[in-house]
Chains A and B, each alone.
Chain A
Amino acid sequence: MFDVKELEKIKAGKKKWSEGTLAKTLSKAPEKKAKTTWSGIPVETLYTPAENAGLDYESKLGYPGEYPYTRGVQPNMFRGRFWTMRQYAGFGSAKETNARYRYLLGQGQTGLSVAFHLPTQAGYDSDHPLSMGEVGKVGAAIDHIGDMRILFDQIPLDKVTTSMTVNAAATALLGMYLSVAEEQGAKYDQLGGTIQNDVLKEIICRGQYIYPPKPTMRLTVDLIEFCQKYVPRWNSISISGYHIRESGSTAAQEMAFTIADGIAYAEACAARGIPVDSFAPRLSFFFNAFTDVLEEVAKFRAARRVWAKIMKDRFKAKDPRSMMLRYHVQTGGVTLTAQQPLNNIVRVALQTFATALGGHQSLHTNSYDEALCLPTQGAVTVALRTQQIIAEESGACVTVDPLAGSYYIEYLTDKIEAEIEDYIKKIDAMGGTLTAIEQGYIQKEIQNSAYLFQKSIDSGERAYVGVNKYTMEEPPVTDLLRVDMKVGEEKAKELKEWRAKRDNAAWKKSLDKLREVSKTDTNVMPTVIEAVKAGATVGEVCDVWRDVFGQYRPKEFIS
């Protein structure tokens, strides 16, 4: 971007400044400690064109909506329309959650995002012994198609787009969703949304796995293949770095390990014989946003460039849409503090600002009370308004990729890109993502970063407002949102009635068929849909596969 002569001049100028003007200041007031990004990348006092010497504009940045998509996947980004504001929500019963959805849609939210309670995610019914105490706690208790009907009562599924956070049990829940949409009169090809369906990160760090890696990947690909044929507007996977970051990774590791997972899914789809340009445009991603605005912006730009290169060079994609890294963001849950919780509003605002400058497709903003409990309605409203303020008032959305060309941002983008590519090389050399996970490599890398971060907080080397600096005594927060234990009892009673009133013969036949199909190479999705329509519960569908596939028991790696 800069000619050689000019660069030489700038290099000399910076050296002179560093040894003169800067040195004089530092001799009087030395900097106490080395400066780094929040993830620990060393940061210099000043960035100039000299640190951007390798930056070729056309090949590395280019234009938004064009390869390598560093500057964004759409030509005019938020000038055309803002991102989808999508708040992840769900608690208690399907009925309570339906009320929260209708409230959020009434407040200008533009998409839904379903939080299922842990039993649903782990493939257990609400009355299973392992569900004790968990029913309705961190999401809605959805056991069967009847619950799904209530969840979307009076919400037209051909109009809203819905994101569903469910992975190992994804096929069963998508089956219910598609069936309810059909009952409402919608056609499969009118439905838009996303299902997380990313089982690898469950094994790496999120913990909602059910089956061993190979069969669980088979279900993932069955769902992707089914959607590619029949639900063309559906994002059939959301490859997630969010939880990797929450577990303690650095920003670069978040992108590296997510992209490594993405490669594994793309390879599995290709092995199934699906042409790359048929599945790749429907691969979507999900990332975190922390408070170090500049590091986050660089991280998003770097990941777009790396993914585009991988899809083009490694997977030989031809369709530009296959090369676009499209992603949802959630602000960093783990960055929120239980101390002085109102401070979290500021953190979320900065994280939202970073996300907007980074150029995303949809966003969930956390509520300030989430280090204490599930978000209360008032806190959720502030979180949604934060997105609206950044979108409408901050100036982040009036031009595309506004930080491009900043010497620091471009340096950091290159630096993170190099770190991502380094990890991908290492993982390839190990034999691929699944092997790296089996060996605990990825898990240990993340845990080590979490450890180093904690050490820096404990020692006070890194300041955390309200936690290890600027602390104060404060009264406990009351009026927290609570889910009554009664939800569990009521759900158990309701399940009993559900099982008693369904057509027993049809139900049994559908599950027997599912068992047979699962033992073959045939795609399970159509049979799953038959089973949930016949009244089979999440737990019953997942139990069939527990029998056929076995259950995953992880090795624990403590590092």
Chain B
Amino acid sequence: MAEKKIKIIVAKPGLDGHDRGAKLLSRIFAEAGMEVVYTGLRQTPEMIVEAALQEDADVVGLSSLSGVHNYFFPKVVELLKAKKLANVLVVGGGIIPLEDIPELKKAGIAEIFGPGTSTEVIVDFIRSNVKAK
């Protein structure tokens, strides 16, 4: 079965400048055979969803270390749904308290990867959860 490459948008929502993780994972995803688009910093939810639409992405990976995840992550899911992109897998990472994760999952973020997560775990999760379109 010739599989289509997984296409992932790696995005930094808000004004947070911590992009070590986002850039590192961009490289790791590319090495894992995915097609990666890194948006750079200062993305609004609208910009991220627009990128997902334009790029026909399978996955959106959100990274936040400034404490704005509860605002931004659900907003991205909501806008994706509004654009009929509910099939796009949304995952997140960064400095995110464990107690916030249940709410984020309820809002439609498939998984949250905290500091110290092995990159293999993240790649495996995406591979096994990416949805057929």
Residues of A within 8 A of B (CB): 118-119, 121-122, 124, 129-134, 137-138, 202, 205-208, 246-248, 334, 337-339, 371-374, 447, 450-451, 454, 457-458, 464, 466-468, 476-478, 480, 483, 485, 554, 556, 558-559
Contact = CB atoms under 8 A, between A and B. Distances in A.
Contacts of A122: 15, 42
Contacts of B67: 137-138, 373-374, 483
A118, A129, A133, A137: residue with the most chain B Cβ atoms closer than 10 Å: A133
B19 A558 contact: no
A314 to B, nearest CB: 31
A480 B24 CA distance: 28
Interface in B68-111: 68, 70-72, 95, 97-99
B14 to A, nearest CB: 6
B71 to A, nearest CB: 3
B42 A130 contact: yes
Contacts of B15: 118-119, 121-122, 124, 130-131, 134, 208
B30, B44, B67, B68: residue with the most chain A Cβ atoms closer than 10 Å: B67
B127 interface: no
Nearest to B46: A129
Contact of B114 (A118, A124, A338, A485): A338
A483 B24 CA distance: 29
A276 B98 CA distance: 51
B62 to A, nearest CB: 13
Contacts of B116: 337-339, 464, 466-467
A338 B18 contact: no
Contacts of B119: 454, 458
A118 B14 contact: yes
Contacts of B38: 556, 558
Interface string B11-27: 00011111110011011
A362 B10 CA distance: 37
Contacts of A371: 95, 115
Contacts of A373: 67, 95, 97
B66 interface: yes
How many interface residues does chain B have, given as a range? 35 or more
Contacts of A476: 97-99
Interface in B1-52: 14-20, 23-24, 26-28, 30, 36, 38, 40-42, 44
Contacts of A131: 15
A553 to B, nearest CB: 8
A134 B12 CA distance: 13
A130 B68 CA distance: 12
Contact of A129 (B41, B44, B71, B120): B44
27 contacts: A118-B14, A119-B15, A121-B15, A130-B44, A132-B14, A133-B68, A137-B68, A138-B67, A205-B19, A207-B16, A207-B18, A207-B19, A372-B97, A447-B20, A447-B27, A450-B20, A450-B23, A454-B28, A457-B118, A458-B118, A467-B116, A468-B118, A480-B99, A554-B40, A556-B40, A558-B30, A559-B27
Contacts of B18: 207, 246
A238 B39 CA distance: 30
6 tightest A-B CB contacts, nearest first: A207-B17, A133-B71, A476-B98, A118-B15, A133-B68, A467-B116
B39 to A, nearest CB: 8
Contact of A208 (B14, B17, B28): B17
Given A118-B14, A132-B71, A478 B19 contact: no
A475 B31 CA distance: 34
Nearest to A132: B71
A130 B70 CA distance: 16
B20 A248 contact: yes
Nearest to A138: B66
A132 B16 CA distance: 12
Contacts of B26: 558
A364 to B, nearest CB: 17
A133 B23 CA distance: 23
Contacts of B42: 122, 130, 207
